[in-house]
Amino acid sequence: MQMLWLPITLLCAFSLATSDALTKKALAARYNEYLVAWLRLLLMLPPLTVLLLSTPKPTLGPEFLLTILIALPLELVALILYIKALKLSPLGLTVPFLALTPLFLLVIPYLLLGERISLTGGIGVLFIAAGSYVLNLSRHGNGILSPFRAILKERGSLCMIGVAVLYSFTATLSKKAISVSSPLFFASFYPMLVFLCLTPVALWKGRNELRFMKQTGIMQAALFPAFFSFVETITGVVALSLTNVAYMIAVKRLSLLMGILYGYFLFREDGLGERLAGGILMIAGVALIVIGGR
């Protein structure tokens, strides 16, 4: 039971990478990015509703409500910034900054939850953060510091740094909300609230495309991303309830490595061999967490 979080987190990472790859395919068809993100959540509502109705409702106190009220606006801002980052700048100058999230999680869960991690586990988190950064560098071959140099001229890079910071807080707050409710209740209830918050933004940003949704096939394009996003949500919440936030999010970053494989096999992207070093670092990090994390 102690190590059950690891295979669940690996399934979470796989589901996230698959959902993102299918979303990228939808965006390549020039569908509105806000509507695609919104439809992913919309299509998740039926299974989430079934899960919510079949899950015993825990006693929800003021601590749960306060945590949700703090987390929701942060989650919405992070989602919007993520969309903007993907739209404004090349992936090679934005995605590497997601590697900062595990670094922030070495500190924030301790401050908010009192979670401690071992020295070996901490080194494993650092390995995964470094690996997830390195494996994205070949997307933009101007050296290891190219994403940081781009901060001055690429607004997308700044957006993604904001996302990395916000994700470290939302992951920690999610762990807190789970601890005062239940994993399955939170997994079904929280995405519904995110959907409600995103709805006015998406409908306004995609107002010109709404009339043509049926003709363009955007609903069908969002169906499979929504399914894998649902699996990612459930497995992510369950894994968070079983281990430290820093460990879970660090291992979940293997989705970046899986995304590279998707890029190679589905989109014929180059540079698979060049990214091997980043993959080795990430796998070594996971091994250190498994061996010495507690």
- What confidence score (pLDDT) does residue 107 get? 85
At 113, the amino acid letter reads: L
- What confidence score (pLDDT) does residue 140 get? 52
Please report, rounded to a whole number, the percentage of residues in the chain having pLDDT higher than 90.
Answer: 38
- What confidence score (pLDDT) does residue 207 get? 84
Q: Which of 197, 211, 256 is nearest to 68 (CA)?
A: 197
Report the C-alpha gap between 171 and 247 in whole angstroms. 11
Alpha helices by DSSP H, the chain: 5-28, 33-54, 62-88, 100-104, 108-113, 119-134, 146-149, 155-179, 183-205, 213-216, 218-242, 245-252, 254-267, 276-292
Q: What are phi and psi of 42, to 5 degrees?
A: -60, -45
Which residues, 6+ apart, have CB-to-CB distance to 259 below 8 Å?
17, 20, 21
- What confidence score (pLDDT) does residue 138 get? 56
Name the stretches of the chain with pLDDT < 50.
Answer: 1
Q: Is the pTM of this model over 0.75?
A: yes
Report the C-alpha gap between 148 and 130 in whole angstroms. 14
In this predicted model, what pLDDT tens digit does every residue of 62-101 receive, in sequence order? 999 999 999 999 999 998 888 777 667 655 556 667 777 8
- What confidence score (pLDDT) does residue 57 get? 92
